[in-house]
Amino acid sequence: MASARMPEEFFDVVAHHLPPDEPVGPDGGRPRVSNHCVMKVLWYVLATGCRWRDVPTEMGCCGETARSRLRLWEEAGIWARLHVDLLGLLRRDGELEHDTAIVDAVLIRAHGGGDKTGPNPADRGKPGTKQTLMVDKGGAGDRDGRRPAPATTQILPLVALAFPQVAGRPGRPRKAPDTVYAPMRGTTVKRPATCSRHHPGIEPRIRRRGTVHGSRLGRIAG
Q: Tell me the pLDDT tens digit for each residue of 146-178.
A: 655 555 556 666 676 777 888 888 888 888 888
Q: Do the bridges between strand 203-206 and strand 179-182 make them parallel or antiparallel, or are there none, so unpaired?
A: parallel
Confidence check: pLDDT of 203 > 60: yes
Q: What mean pLDDT value characterizes the chain?
A: 79
For residue 56, tell me if it sits in a domain: yes
Residues 120 and 45 in one domain: no
Answer yes or no: are the C-beta atoms of 205 and 186 closer than 8 Å.
Answer: no
Residues 113 and 54 in one domain: no
Classified as helix, coil or strand, 197 is helix
Residues 191 and 113 in one domain: yes
pLDDT tier at 205, thresholds 50, 70, 90: confident
For residue 213, tell me if it sits in a domain: no
pLDDT tier at 193, thresholds 50, 70, 90: very low
Residues 57 and 143 in one domain: no
Query: What is the rounded CA–CA span in Å between residue 160 and residue 199?
Result: 7
Quote the domain boundaries for residue 43: 2-19+32-76
Q: How many domains does the chain have?
A: 2
Residues 121 and 201 in one domain: yes
**Best-predicted range by mean pLDDT among 88-97, 116-125, 200-209?**
88-97
For residue 24, tell me if it sits in a domain: no
Residues 71 and 104 in one domain: no
